[in-house]
Every structure is written in C-alpha cells, then in structure tokens.
C-alpha cells in the first residue's frame, strides 16, 4: 500500500470521528468505506467507526449545517485523490459482476433487491418515505423486467444479530454506489423519474456523492423541473466548486429559466476553471445575445461607460459570493447582528405577520483588516443574493452631476433583483461631514451625500429588498445625518479579534490555503487533524489543552495586535517560502505550527 493511501486513510478516519461528533452517522460510514479502499490495513478501525455510527441510527438534520458542508468538502477532496492515484486505484477490489439474470440492455434488479433488504435490516431508523418509494419503484420495475420469483423475498426482514461482525461491516460498504449506478442505468434508458427515485435513496445513505447531485440535477432538467435541478447543482458545487461541468450545467438551467445574467456568470466561472471549455464559451455568447436583446433592444451592447463617463451597467461589479458567515473567523457578536439582516433579506413569513420594515442600511466600522468587507460578502453568500461592490472611484466623476447619476444607476440596478446588497467601502468619501466639505470648497461631496440619503430614503418604495452596507475605518468622519433612524439602522463596531478568534481565523486561513494546494501533505499531521475536526468543539477543547500549539501562536499574535488580514498574509508568506525553496530544489515539507510561530514573531505590521 502506498504512503499516499495510508495518509488518505488516516485523514478519512479523522473525518469519520468528526462526523460522529456532529452526529452524522452515514457520513462517518462513507469515510470508513473510503479509508478501507485507501488502505486495507485499517479495516478494524473502520469497522469500529461503522458500529459506532449504527448506534446513532439517524440522519443529520436538514437543512445541512455549514459544519457538515465544510467536512464533506474534505471528504470529496480525498475521494478525488483516491480516484486519481494509480497506486490506490490498483489496490481496489474488483467490482462485483452483473447477475446472471441481467440482460445486455436492462439493469440487474435482483441484486439491488438484496441490497435494499440489507439497508432495511441494517439501519431501519434512517429510512422512511424515500426508501418506501424506492421499494415500490423496484416492484414496478420487477413487474416490467423481472420474473415472478424476483418478488419472493422482497418483504423479508432479517435481524442484524443473525450475521457475524465482519459480514455486517462488509454490508455497510458501497451500497450507495450500487443504488447510484442503477439510477445511471435508468437515466440512460430515459426513465428519469425512476432514476431520481434511486438517486434519492443513494444520497440519503451517503449525502456526499457529488455525482449523485449532478446526475439527479440532469434528470430534473430533462423533466423541466428547473428549481430542483438548480438546488442539486448548488449542492454539488458546495461539495466541489472547481469542476467546470457543474457551473456549465447550472448555467444552462439559468438560461432555460431566462435568467441570463446568472447564466453568463456561471458560464464565465466554468471558463475560469477550464479556459478551453468551448461549449461554455458558446453558451456564454448566446446568453449575452439573449440578454442584450431583452434589455437593450437595438442598442449597441457591451460598453460599460458611455462617452460622458456615466456608468450605465454595473453588472461587472455584481457577484454572488460563495462564502458563508460560518467561514468568517471570530466576530460572533457581529454575526448575530447580521443574522437579523439575513432574516429580512430572506423574507421570513414572521416579518409579514408583524409588518416589520426592512432595515435600509448597516454601517460596519473598525480598524483596517478586521474583516468588514469579508463579513458583508459572507452575509450576501448566506442570503444567496447579488452583491454589488463597485469601487468608490467608479462612482466619482469629474463632470458635474455624473457622480450622482452613477449612484442612482447603482441603486436602480440593485432594485431589479428580489433582494440584493449594495456595499460601499470607504463610505466616508461619499458620506463625509458636509460642513467640512463646504469649508474645503468641495460642494460635489455635499451633493453626493444628499443623493445617497435620497436613495436610502426611497428604498422602501422600490420593489426589491435592497440593503446598503457601508464600511469605514473612521466613524467620526461620517456625517451624523446618516446615523439618524431610518438610514443606517444598524451601526456595528467590528473589533480586533481576541486569542480565541485568532485561533479560529488561523484554522480558516490554513484550510483555505490547503484547498488551493494540489499537494496532499500541505499540513503536518497535527494541523491536518485540527483542520478536519468540527470547528467549535475543537476550539473549546484547544483552549483547555492544545496539542497543536495554535493557541500559543494566537496569544503571540494578540500581543502584537494582529488581525485577520495579517494572519492571511503570514500564511501566504509561509507558502511563498516553500515555493522559493522548491525552485531551488529544496522541499521544506508540510506547514507546521513552528512555521506559524516563527512568522508571527517576525511579522511587523504597518500601522496606518
């Protein structure tokens, strides 16, 4: 067995323990299966995981928590490593041969019936309507393709205690893949509804099968059920956002729904991942033509600015952030405040019940680098709404009146969506103290501030739910009129992180850096284990007893008054150090806590 296989197995067992901690037994079983595939010597440890998972006998709660999504991403990454490494692939057992009753053109159903009985026997509490629907579909298929004896024992139930431990553990492996493969066969037969039934059960057994979401999304698309198809593609993208086909297919769905802007954004993301993806480029051009024909009629498309400097199209500055509030380290109090805004953006029913008004603005203030912009982007990602973040320099123009026109066009673009966020960084440039503007003979600032006040006052009259988020390093520079009730409803200070927050930020920075790296041993064993653990549980334990030494590193960073931007820069420097050494033919090995401590001690932040 290769050292890579052993490393993958070790990490998968770490992840299995993490899934047990957050009470997701089926994810733990999936990790145990992959661990055995990577390294057959961990069979006993994997079996222990399976038995512990079976004792939980329940599915994770829905909707999926951010913690589960994060852990499942790591499983998907290791699954990709296992599937692409020759030394691991060659050690995998041969797949079972088709049943002798199977024909060349119809799926083998008798083996699936046996596997469904095993599921019913092994984890009865984990299955309900989806399993019953799969069994009814199976009977219909057996009526169509099978023989009478195929029904004989479909309803028989067995006791797990009738099997010895090894047989019972063996039953836990690869069941979901059999169900998924049957769905694929039915899909090829153009029996899309039947295929969806078995994709449902496969994903209920193991919610980390990326191909299951992708293929089920394709089946829904074939049936014209675009909302469900888009939801499946979103889930697949959460598992692995670096697959061009996922963005391409989601772009097609958006195009079918006539949401051309979203389609173009998805096709462009597919092209970022694979610049040679010709079909994505063709579809992008087609979506652009459809959008221009719909919105601009016979006018010339493509120009972002006309001759006099007025910005007519803010599309290039609109994004759909894929980060979540859980991916922002520290700032628990700020995130609780932003959860209120999230409720309004999502349009909760309780708002209508009480006739609550949508907050018009949120003002985040604090020193440079504490995470104000990151929090705003994460809020948009949580709400899954467009995020308009044009630079202030784009709004300002030398010609009289153009700056105000640009600001109005920005709000007009945001109001076209059901809900959206307008983010204005360094808002004090627009919303500065107006009396100071008069003294310094800058009347344009006063006009621009008045325009912003007018747009915020008019937000309730617009169709969409638009929230303005401003960020500033200097609250004193903001005109008090913006802080009156009805404008920036929430004024929130974003404070520098303390020790516990710095530990969390370090973990997030390391995880993000490891995601970008193709090298599988990017982190040493202790840091890897910390990254793969459930975040909050690990933090609580580490503050009591830390085997990694990250808490000590965070204490040093706290004494030096470092913030999130500084820690990201430190991780970047550690990676850069290894790149330079690699160019010289020297392998410095995985990133360690000693590397972090050395760079934190050496770091000299530039204070404004």
Predicted pLDDT at 132: 64
Strands 318-319 and 387-388: antiparallel
Average pLDDT over residues 186-203: 80
N-term to C-term CA, the chain: 54
Reported as a single tens digit per residue, the pLDDT across 163-185 is 444 444 444 445 566 677 777 77
pLDDT band with cut points at 50, 70 and 90 for residue 255: confident
Predicted pLDDT at 99: 35
Q: Where are the beta strands (DSSP E) in 202-273?
A: none
Reported as a single tens digit per residue, the pLDDT across 45-86 is 888 887 888 777 555 555 557 777 788 778 877 877 776 666
Residues 562, 566, 568, 571, Cα dihedral to 10°: -90
Predicted pLDDT at 461: 63
Query: 274 or 154: whose pLDDT is higher?
Result: 274
Residue 296, classed as helix, strand or coil, is coil
Sheet of strand 361-365, all strands in order from the earlier edge strand to the far edge: 318-319, 387-388, 419-425, 465-472, 361-365, 488-493
Predicted pLDDT at 125: 47
Using alpha carbons only, how large is the chain's radius of gyration in Å? Answer: 28
- Tell me the sheet residues that pair with 424: 470
Query: 280 or 225: whose pLDDT is higher?
Result: 280
Reported as a single tens digit per residue, the pLDDT across 127-165 is 456 666 666 666 666 566 554 444 444 444 334 334 444
Query: 114 or 17: whose pLDDT is higher?
Result: 17
Predicted pLDDT at 184: 79
Q: Which two tokens stand for residue 356?
A: 């609550």
Predicted pLDDT at 561: 87
Most confident listed range (70-79, 150-159, 248-257, 590-599): 590-599
CB 524 within 8 A of CB 592: yes
pLDDT band with cut points at 50, 70 and 90 for residue 476: confident
How far apart CA 245 and CA 234 sit, in angstroms, is 12
Percent of all residues in the chain with a pLDDT value above 70, rounded to a whole number: 76
Reported as a single tens digit per residue, the pLDDT across 411-465 is 888 888 778 888 888 888 887 765 544 444 467 777 888 888 888 877 766 666 7
Predicted pLDDT at 576: 93
pTM score, whole prediction: 0.65
How far apart CA 141 and CA 339 sit, in angstroms, is 48
CB 42 within 8 A of CB 35: yes
How far apart CA 558 and CA 569 sit, in angstroms, is 15
Predicted pLDDT at 570: 92
Reported as a single tens digit per residue, the pLDDT across 513-559 is 888 888 888 898 888 888 888 888 888 888 888 778 889 999 999 89
Predicted pLDDT at 421: 87
CB 211 within 8 A of CB 140: no
Kind and range of the H or E run holding 388: strand 387-388
Predicted pLDDT at 441: 43
Predicted pLDDT at 141: 64
Most confident listed range (273-282, 364-373, 593-602): 593-602
Predicted pLDDT at 68: 79
How far apart CA 64 and CA 440 sit, in angstroms, is 54
pLDDT band with cut points at 50, 70 and 90 for residue 575: very high
Predicted pLDDT at 301: 37
């Amino acid at each position: 067995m290769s050292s890579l296989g052993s490393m993958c197995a070790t990490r998968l067992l770490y992840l299995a323990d993490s899934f047990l901690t957050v009470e997701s037994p089926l994810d733990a079983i999936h990790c145990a299966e992959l661990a055995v595939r990577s390294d057959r010597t961990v069979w006993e440890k994997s079996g222990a995981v399976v038995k512990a998972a079976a004792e939980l006998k329940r599915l994770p709660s829905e909707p999926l928590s951010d913690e589960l999504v994060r852990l499942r991403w790591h499983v998907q990454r290791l699954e990709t490593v296992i599937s692409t490494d020759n030394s691991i692939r060659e050690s995998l057992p041969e797949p079972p041969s088709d049943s002798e009753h199977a024909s060349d053109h119809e799926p083998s159903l008798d083996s699936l019936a046996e596997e469904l009985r095993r599921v019913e026997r092994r984890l009865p509490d984990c299955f309900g309507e989806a399993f019953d629907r799969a069994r009814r579909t199976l009977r219909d298929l057996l009526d169509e393709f099978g023989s009478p004896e195929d029904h004989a024992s479909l309803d028989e139930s067995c006791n797990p205690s009738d099997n010895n431990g090894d047989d019972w553990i063996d039953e836990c492996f690869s069941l979901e893949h059999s169900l998924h493969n049957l769905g694929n066969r039915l899909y090829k037969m153009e029996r899309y509804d039947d295929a969806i039934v078995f994709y449902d059960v496969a994903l209920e057994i193991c919610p980390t099968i990326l191909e299951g979401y992708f293929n089920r999304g394709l089946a829904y698309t074939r049936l014209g059920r675009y909302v469900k198809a888009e939801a499946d593609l979103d889930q697949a993208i959460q598992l692995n956002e670096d697959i061009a086909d996922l963005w391409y297919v989601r772009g097609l769905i958006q195009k079918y729904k006539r949401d051309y802007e979203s389609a173009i954004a998805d096709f462009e993301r597919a092209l970022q991942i694979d610049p040679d993806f010709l079909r994505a480029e063709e579809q992008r051009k087609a979506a652009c033509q459809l959008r221009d024909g719909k919105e601009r009629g016979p006018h010339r498309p493509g120009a972002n600015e006309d001759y006099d400097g007025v910005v007519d199209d803010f599309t290039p500055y609109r994004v759909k952030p894929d980060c979540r509030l859980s991916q922002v380290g520290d700032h628990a109090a700020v995130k609780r405040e932003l959860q209120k805004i999230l409720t309004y953006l999502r349009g909760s029913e309780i708002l209508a019940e009480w006739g609550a008004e949508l907050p018009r603005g949120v003002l985040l203030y604090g020193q440079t680098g504490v995470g104000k912009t990151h929090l705003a982007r994460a809020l948009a990602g949580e709400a899954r709404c467009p995020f308009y973040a044009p630079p202030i320099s784009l709004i300002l123009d030398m010609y009289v009146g153009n700056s105000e026109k640009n600001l109005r066009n920005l709000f007009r673009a945001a109001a076209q969506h059901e809900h959206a966020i307008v983010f204005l960084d360094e808002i004090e440039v627009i919303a500065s103290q107006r009396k100071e503007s008069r003294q310094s003979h800058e009347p344009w600032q006063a006009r621009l501030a008045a325009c912003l006040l007018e747009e915020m006052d008019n937000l309730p009259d617009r169709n969409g739910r638009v929230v303005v988020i401003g960020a500033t390093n200097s609250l004193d520079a903001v005109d008090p009129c913006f802080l009156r009730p009805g404008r920036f409803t929430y004024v929130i200070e974003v404070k520098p992180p303390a020790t516990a927050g710095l530990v969390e930020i370090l973990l997030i920075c390391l995880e993000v850096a490891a995601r970008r790296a193709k090298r599988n041993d990017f982190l040493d064993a202790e840091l890897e284990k910390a990254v793969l653990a459930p975040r909050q549980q690990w933090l609580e334990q580490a503050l009591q007893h830390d085997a990694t030494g990250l808490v000590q590193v965070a204490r040093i960073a706290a004494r030096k008054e470092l913030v999130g931007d500084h820690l990201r820069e430190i991780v970047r420097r550690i990676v850069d150090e290894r790149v330079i050494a690699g160019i010289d033919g020297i392998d410095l090995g995985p990133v360690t806590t000693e590397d972090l401590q050395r760079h934190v001690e050496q770091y000299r932040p530039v204070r404004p």
